[in-house]
């Protein structure tokens, strides 16, 4: 049986009320009693007819027996006839006779009123045995006639059975009429009594059926003084507990427990209501999303309990600021439609302003809210600033439903973060850019499957000898139509959508296979590959690198892995544990973009690295920035003090190369020596260099 069929069957079983079932039970009991009573009456009726005949026969025998016996013994037939004739008017008499002990009939009397059927069925051959004999249509009583202790004959009397039964049936019919009258009286009385008894239960049932979620505060009144009243009181207590539980559930469902502000679900409902109102021609509304930029770092530093306390403080600040903004910005409608502040995610708050006069009012409201969250708060003796970035959207212009409006406000928030601005309003260009990023991500995933990301190689040159020492493998994306996508486009997108790890591994494999092929041709050029932060966070980092080298057949000593300064300095102990297995096999490590982070000489001494790459912004600034030469000299001195080889990125002029060469820089890399080349072009460059045909601006180029 299906669940639906079971439900319908259960509904049918529950269709009759309890009162109906009680009445049905009582009716069943009455019917059962009536059936039993009928059976008893029927049996008693049958036995009563026979008993009646026995009684009548006994009376006749006592009244006539002695005299008949004396008349029979003396042979006085006249007297015997007169005695026998006294029976002719007896009720239901058919015949009577006197017989000798031998069975001979002495005298016989037949009733003139006897029915023919009774006469026809007269048992003339009835044995001479005292007692009552039952025939189909007659009862026969046989009584002995005794004289001085001896049996001198028998008196036999036959009664019409139907006549006797009708007499008894009439009496039992009277009894049945009395019983039926009692049942007729008892049935309505029983129904009335059941109805009165079940009235409290009916009241309780109707009350329970009429309850709704909003009626949990109602109470039931039953004054029956019995178990139903006790049940009603228990029901009321249960309703009270349920009402309290529902109130708590509503609070949990719609209120953020940390800040006591409306939560995301309540916010979503209110936002949809404001959007619908704005669409119906009312004044425009505004949605403001505020992100606490420093709170994640504070949570890492102070712990989650402290972060929750700070969130509660931020919620209080925001709620107070929204009330102030309503009084100062939204003067007209603030009393009737106050703004709503809510916490909508872990580190995000939002404000909904139902009606505003202009977008400038929305900007003022957002500034008031952001200013409240940006001001330092006192916490356990400290002055802590959250830092706040704001994204805003106008309603319904920037979203005709709650989801769209919230998405657009968050797009504005992300744009403000990317532009390092405190606040940004949504514009259609942001939505277009978001869709373009999604399209680019889809295209990048397809490109990964088709292996469209390949390694190009930018030469790295020994500044003293002018010879090629190797190359840095740079990611390039070539579409099927042959067009190139700039790394400035797809690298930031890959870092944002998490594809940078897959692209970096693809470039690493490609670079290792190409370098191994060059090595087999006799060109033992080092190849440097950038390692993403995601790759470096993988605990199997070393195993993956060694497996790639083994599969490609590349000597470990020809691979250089470049790690950015920020990643290298994040956890020195973990960095050391990850790279030592590779350095033990000959893989070299370089600190990339050195000078842009916060490395110290003490930290450098602890890093198990081999090379230090000077960021290109310092090289390009040698001729323009008066501080750049001093910075580069300091970096080179630091590298020399810890015995690091140095690589200068972005070398574009001979003057830059000469400056670096004089100050002990080992290797130069930049457009002075060439851009990133396709593998075939770089191999051709290696071959020409080996033949002495390639020249740099400073002279002929050899191969290291």
List, in sequence order, every residue forming a beta bridge with 484; answer none if it has no partner: 478
**pLDDT-based confidence at residue 702 (cuts at 50, 70, 90):** very low
Handedness of CA 634, 637, 643, 647 (dihedral sign): positive
pLDDT of residue 677: 93
pLDDT of residue 550: 94
The two tokens of residue 471 are: 């190359």
How far is 162 from 685, CA to CA, in rounded Å?
A: 140
Size (the chain), residues? 704
Q: Are strands 468-478 and 453-462 parallel, antiparallel or unpaired?
A: antiparallel
606: phi then psi, degrees, rounded to nearest 5: -90, -15
What is the mean pLDDT of the segment spanning 107-130? Answer: 65
Q: Which is more confident, 64 or 423? A: 423
List, in sequence order, every residue forming a beta bridge with 699; answer none if it has no partner: 696
Query: Average pLDDT of the chain?
Result: 80
CA 443 to chain centre: 34
pLDDT tens, 528-570? 999 888 888 888 999 999 999 999 999 999 999 998 877 877 7
User: Going by C-beta distance under 8 Å and a sequence separation of 6 or more, which residues neighbour residue 153?
Assistant: 68, 69, 72, 98, 99, 100, 101, 106, 144, 145
Half-sphere exposure of 465 (CA within 13 A, CB side): 11
List, in sequence order, every residue forming a beta bridge with 167; answer none if it has no partner: none
Burial of residue 9 (CB within 10 Å: 0-12, 13-18, 19+) is: exposed
pLDDT of residue 460: 93
CA-CA distances (angstroms) from residue 539 to 512, 571, 574, 575? 21, 14, 10, 11
**pLDDT-based confidence at residue 22 (cuts at 50, 70, 90):** low
**pLDDT-based confidence at residue 214 (cuts at 50, 70, 90):** low
How far is 285 from 274, CA to CA, in rounded Å?
A: 7
Poorest-confidence range of 234-248, 252-266, 634-648?
A: 234-248
CA 524 to chain centre: 60
**pLDDT-based confidence at residue 290 (cuts at 50, 70, 90):** very high
Q: Compute the CA torsion angle 62, 64, 67, 72 (nearest 10 deg).
A: -120
Contact predicate 452/459, CB 8 Å: no
pLDDT tens, 178-207? 777 777 777 777 777 766 666 676 666 666
User: Going by C-beta distance under 8 Å and a sequence separation of 6 or more, which residues neighbour residue 185?
Assistant: none
pLDDT of residue 178: 74
What is the mean pLDDT of the segment spanning 314-333? Answer: 85
Poorest-confidence range of 107-111, 277-281, 478-482, 597-601?
A: 597-601
CA 184 to chain centre: 59
CA 314 to chain centre: 31
Residue 293 DSSP code: S
List, in sequence order, every residue forming a beta bridge with 292; answer none if it has no partner: 388
Reported pTM = 0.57
CA-CA distances (angstroms) from residue 606 to 536, 540, 576? 18, 22, 9
Poorest-confidence range of 65-74, 167-176, 385-394, 659-668?
A: 167-176
Max mean pLDDT range (219-228, 277-286, 514-523): 514-523
The two tokens of residue 298 are: 């504070």
């Amino acid at each position: 049986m299906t669940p639906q069929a079971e439900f319908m069957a259960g509904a049918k079983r529950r269709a009759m009320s309890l009162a109906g079932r009680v009445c049905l039970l009582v009716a069943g009991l009455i019917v059962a009693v009536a059936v039993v009573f009928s059976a008893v009456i029927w049996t008693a009726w049958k036995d009563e007819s026979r008993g009646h005949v026995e009684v009548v026969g006994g009376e006749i025998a006592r009244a006539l027996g002695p005299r008949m016996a004396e008349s029979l013994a003396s042979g006085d037939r006249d007297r015997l006839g007169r005695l026998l004739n006294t029976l002719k008017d007896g009720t239901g008499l058919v015949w009577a006779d006197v017989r000798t002990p031998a069975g001979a009939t002495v005298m016989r009397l037949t009733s003139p009123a006897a029915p023919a059927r009774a006469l026809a069925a007269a048992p003339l051959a009835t044995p001479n045995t005292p007692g009552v004999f039952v025939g189909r249509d007659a009862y026969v009583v046989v009584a002995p006639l005794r004289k001085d202790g001896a049996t001198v004959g028998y008196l036999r009397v036959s009664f019409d059975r139907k006549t006797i039964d009708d007499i008894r049936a009439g009496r039992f019919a009277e009894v049945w009429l009395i019983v039926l009258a009692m049942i007729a009286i008892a049935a309505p009385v029983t129904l009335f009594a059941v109805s009165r008894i079940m009235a409290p239960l009916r009241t309780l049932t109707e009350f329970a059926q009429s309850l709704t979620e909003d009626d949990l505060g109602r109470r039931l009144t039953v004054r029956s003084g019995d178990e139903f009243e006790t049940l009603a009181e228990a029901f009321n207590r249960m309703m009270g507990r349920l009402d309290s539980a529902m109130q708590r559930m509503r609070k949990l469902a719609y209120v953020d427990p940390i800040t006591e502000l409306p939560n995301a679900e309540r916010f979503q409902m209110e936002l949809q209501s404001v959007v619908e109102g704005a669409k119906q021609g009312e004044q425009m509304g505004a949605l403001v999303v505020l992100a606490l930029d420093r709170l994640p770092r504070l949570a890492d530093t102070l712990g989650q309990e402290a972060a929750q306390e700070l969130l509660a403080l931020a919620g209080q600040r925001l709620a107070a600021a929204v009330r102030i903004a309503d009084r100062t910005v939204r003067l007209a409608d603030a009393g009737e439609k106050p703004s709503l502040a809510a916490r909508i995610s872990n580190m995000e708050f939002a404000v909904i302003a139902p009606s505003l006069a202009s977008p400038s009012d929305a900007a003022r409201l957002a500034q008031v809210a952001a200013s409240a969250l940006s001001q330092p708060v006192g916490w356990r003796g400290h002055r802590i600033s959250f830092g706040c970035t704001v994204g805003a959207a106008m309603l319904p212009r920037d979203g005709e439903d709650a989801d769209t409006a919230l998405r657009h406000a968050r797009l504005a928030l992300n744009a403000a973060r990317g532009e390092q601005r405190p606040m940004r309003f949504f514009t259609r260009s942001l939505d277009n850019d978001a869709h373009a990023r999604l399209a680019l991500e889809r295209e990048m995933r397809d490109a990964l499957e088709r292996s469209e990301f390949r390694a190009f190689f930018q030469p790295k040159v020994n500044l003293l000898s002018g010879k090629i020492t190797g190359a840095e493998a740079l990611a390039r994306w070539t579409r099927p139509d042959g067009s190139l996508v700039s790394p400035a486009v797809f690298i930031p997108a890959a870092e944002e959508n998490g594809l940078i790890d897959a692209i970096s591994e693809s470039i690493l494999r490609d670079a290792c296979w190409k370098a191994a092929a060059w090595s087999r041709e006799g060109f033992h050029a080092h190849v440097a590959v950038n390692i993403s932060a995601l790759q470096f966070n993988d605990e199997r980092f070393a195993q993956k690198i060694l497996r790639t080298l083994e599969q490609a057949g590349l000597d470990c000593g020809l691979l250089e892995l470049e790690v950015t300064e920020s990643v290298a300095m994040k956890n020195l102990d973990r960095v050391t544990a990850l790279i030592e297995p590779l350095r033990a096999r000959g893989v070299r490590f370089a600190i990339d973009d050195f000078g842009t982070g916060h490395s110290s000489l003490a930290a450098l001494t602890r890093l198990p690295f081999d090379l230090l790459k000077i960021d290109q912004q310092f090289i390009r600034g040698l001729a323009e920035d008066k501080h750049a030469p001093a910075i580069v000299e300091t970096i080179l001195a630091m590298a020399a003090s810890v015995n690091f080889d140095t690589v200068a990125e972005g070398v574009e002029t001979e003057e830059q190369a000469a400056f670096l060469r004089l100050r002990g820089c080992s290797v130069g890399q930049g457009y002075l020596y060439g851009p990133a080349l396709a593998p075939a072009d770089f191999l051709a460059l290696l071959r020409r260099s080996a033949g002495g045909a390639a020249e740099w601006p400073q002279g002929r180029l050899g191969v290291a």
